[in-house]
Amino acid sequence: MIPDSKIDEIRERIDLVALMGRHGVELKKSGRSFKGCCPFHQEKTPSFHVWPEERRFKCFGCQAGGDAFSFLQRLFGKSFLDTVRDLAKDAGVDLDEAIDPGLKEKAQIKDATDVAAEHFKSRLWDAVVGKRAREYLLSRGVTEDVARAFGLGWAPLAWTELADKLRERGLIAAAEKAGLVSPRKTGDGHYDMFRGRLIIPIRSPEGRTIAFGGRLLEGDDGPKYLNSRESKLYNKSETLYGLDQARDEVRKKKSVVLCEGYFDCIGLHQAGVKNAVALCSTALTPGHMTVLARAEGKELVLLLDGDDAGRKAVERLAAPILAAGGKARVAALPDGEDPDTWARKVGPEAVHKLIETAPTLTQWLFATVLPQGPTSSFEAKMDALERIRPIAAGLPVGLMRSAFFGALSGLMGLPAAELESTLKGKPGATVKAVPKPAPGLEEKPPEQWEALFAAGVLRDVRLLGKDQWRAADELKHTGLRNLIAALATGHSREDALYEASEAVKRTLEEQALQKSLPEDDQALEQWFLVVCRRLKLRGLEEQLTRIARELAQSGGSGSDLTDEAREMLSQQAQLLALKRQIQAQKP
Ligand SMILES: [Zn+2]
């Protein structure tokens, strides 16, 4: 996709008046705007206005309007993206250079990943081929609904099933980069990396598949779990498994349940813990913390295996969480239990109760490293300090650090200052307490009605055909137009959102906005027409404001009206009539 910033740059660089002149629209200067006869409808008195500084045009006669892109789209019936490409040449903006060479590779990896995801799914749900894998899911208590929601699949014990499909589509090189196939050691060709494995697609928060995990079920080829390698699409230190499924619940509860395995996460969802996610690796990184902050997961609940490995994992995860200033609690499972089997055994209520009563991370840490508290032996205290050291070392200087050492002092029965100098290491002054917003977060969010328009199209792209006022032409937010263009050219909802700017994602995923969309198809269409009408009215308001401003500047009042002012007044009257007409019209 073409970056939003490049589209803005093209719009800025194009001389709108010259462009229209080249397409046969004769314009004359009139105050701060230009005026001419409209190319979109028959007329003798000019009512086609262009405001070069604002990069916009408007016809008061037929209501065509928008920017340079809208103008050419309307004139030639071209798509938004084709128009952007044409105008890039005129504006001397090099799009090839703008589109980083990695983007083509990324697009191919996306295609290869999509082919693989479909392939694995079709194998799982094939009556014969997927039988063994479906039985396994059943034995783990995973229902068909949950399996489908998580997009699970099956890679049969075959050598080139997927490789053949990928080669046919010219995607074999990209598939190799994504770790889906591997070149044969002898001779030509490639073989499938995932064989005899239950496939767990790893998705972006928007729901786009970006990688795969595979659990060995048949044969004895390789490790129990195999992950596809990191690629232009997949960065495991920024990816949390299951977040696409957990997002709504995370936003609602402002809390995330973090577990370690894919099946723990799936099992927790199956048991009704719908804000559960899992790590795709063993480390929790600042990247993960940023992703969680963006998902509005203000609190983390660690739900890990009830054994030594699980307890060690909590200690390991504690450092990055506290270093990032994160809030966390630890839901400790009974000894020897893992989240998946335990949740199935005890049921959702017991799981929720465990989560609700979970101690804070520091409470848990202190109780675990020194259960006897201040009365512990000297040796026990020294051991405890060693375990606390890596966590204490990363704490950023500030209130949290002092509070932590204050509490530790109470636990040990030793002065806080002594403890701090003993555990000195280097205080994590360089670690930012608040995760840095991803670039683009500062981008201006779209206006509400524009966002609603895009949300409607995102729900059902066919709504674009119902846009009787051509409100789409008048959208001002480049990111939204880019998104709508992607949807209109057949990109999937997940893919279009995945590529969208942060501001667009955030706006469109807001609960309030999502809730305002009717579920029912017919109601959705009616709702969409209301949105189009509002956008239309917004445009009219802007025109009326402009006219009022220009009238004021030309001092046009009283009997000595200039022709100019007389015409503006007549346009004003027309617009007001149109406004009333639209307001009265029940969609
Ligand atoms: Zn017109």
What confidence tens digit (pLDDT) does each residue in 321-377 have? 988 888 899 998 988 888 999 998 898 899 999 999 999 999 999 999 998 888 889
Q: Tell me the CA–centroid distance for residue 296 and ligand 1, in Å.
A: 46
Q: Tell me the CA–centroid distance for residue 43 and ligand 1, in Å.
A: 8
Q: How far is CA 404 from CA 228, 302, 422, in A?
A: 39, 19, 14
Q: Are strands 153-155 and 65-66 parallel, antiparallel or unpaired?
A: unpaired
Which residues, at least 6 apart from 211, have a Cβ–Cβ distance to it below 8 Å? 113, 178, 179, 201, 202, 227, 228, 230, 231, 233, 234, 236, 239, 280
Strand partners, 58: 49, 65
- Whole-number Å distance between alpha carbons of 431 and 410: 26
Q: Tell me the CA–centroid distance for residue 48 and ligand 1, in Å.
A: 6
Q: Tell me the CA–centroid distance for residue 465 and ligand 1, in Å.
A: 21
Residue for token pair 């199209």: 457
- Note the pLDDT of residue 431: 41
Q: Tell me the CA–centroid distance for residue 55 and ligand 1, in Å.
A: 17
Picking from 453, 447, 583, 472, the residue whose alpha carbon sits closest to that of residue 527 is 453
DSSP3 helix / strand / coil % (the chain, rounded to 5): 55, 10, 35
Q: Tell me the CA–centroid distance for residue 400 and ligand 1, in Å.
A: 63
- Note the pLDDT of residue 568: 79
On whether the CB atoms of residues 436 and 289 are closer than 8 A, the answer is no
Q: Tell me the CA–centroid distance for residue 518 and ligand 1, in Å.
A: 34
Burial of 458 (0-12, 13-18, 19+ CB in 10 A): buried
Return phi, psi of residue 379, to 5°: -60, -45
On whether the CB atoms of residues 116 and 172 are closer than 8 A, the answer is no
Which residues, at least 6 apart from 45, have a Cβ–Cβ distance to it below 8 Å? 567
- Retrieve residue 497's tokens: 């959102």
Q: Tell me the CA–centroid distance for residue 34 and ligand 1, in Å.
A: 14
Tens-digit pLDDT profile for residues 200-214? 999 999 899 999 999
Q: Tell me the CA–centroid distance for residue 49 and ligand 1, in Å.
A: 9
Q: How many helices (DSSP H) and strands (DSSP E) are in the chain?
A: 27, 16
- Note the pLDDT of residue 89: 87
On whether the CB atoms of residues 35 and 49 are closer than 8 A, the answer is yes
What is the pLDDT confidence band of residue 427, given thresholds at 50, 70 and 90? very low
Picking from 77, 180, 184, the residue whose alpha carbon sits closest to that of residue 172 is 180
- Retrieve residue 276's tokens: 């559960």
Three-state secondary structure call for residue 578: helix
Q: Tell me the CA–centroid distance for residue 42 and ligand 1, in Å.
A: 7
CA angle in degrees (0–180, nearest 5) for 417-421-426: 130
Q: pTM of the prediction?
A: 0.75
Q: Is the pLDDT of residue 439 over 60?
A: no
Q: Is the pLDDT of residue 264 over 90?
A: yes
Q: Tell me the CA–centroid distance for residue 38 and ligand 1, in Å.
A: 5
Identify each DSSP E strand in 378-522 by its residue range. Answer: none
Picking from 293, 303, 357, 355, the residue whose alpha carbon sits closest to that of residue 326 is 293
- Retrieve residue 290's tokens: 């940023």
Q: Tell me the CA–centroid distance for residue 47 and ligand 1, in Å.
A: 7
SS3 labels along 132-162: HHHHHHHHCCCCHHHHHHCCCEEECCCCCHH
- Note the pLDDT of residue 511: 72
- Whole-number Å distance between alpha carbons of 403 and 395: 11
Q: Give the residue-averaged pLDDT of 462-490.
A: 88
> Can you say whether the dihedral through the CA atoms of 45, 51, 57, 63 is positive or negative?
negative
On whether the CB atoms of residues 267 and 140 are closer than 8 A, the answer is yes
Q: Tell me the CA–centroid distance for residue 218 and ligand 1, in Å.
A: 68
Share the mean pLDDT of the chain.
Answer: 88
Q: Tell me the CA–centroid distance for residue 31 and ligand 1, in Å.
A: 20
Picking from 18, 156, 51, 79, the residue whose alpha carbon sits closest to that of residue 550 is 51
Picking from 279, 286, 277, the residue whose alpha carbon sits closest to that of residue 320 is 286
Tens-digit pLDDT profile for residues 220-238? 778 889 988 888 889 988 9
Q: Are strands 153-155 and 197-203 parallel, antiparallel or unpaired?
A: antiparallel
Q: Tell me the CA–centroid distance for residue 581 and ligand 1, in Å.
A: 18
Strand partners, 56: 51
Q: Tell me the CA–centroid distance for residue 64 and ligand 1, in Å.
A: 6
- Retrieve residue 78's tokens: 């071209």
Return phi, psi of residue 433, to 5°: -65, -40
- Whole-number Å distance between alpha carbons of 340 and 278: 12
Looking at per-residue confidence, does 575 or 277 come out higher?
277
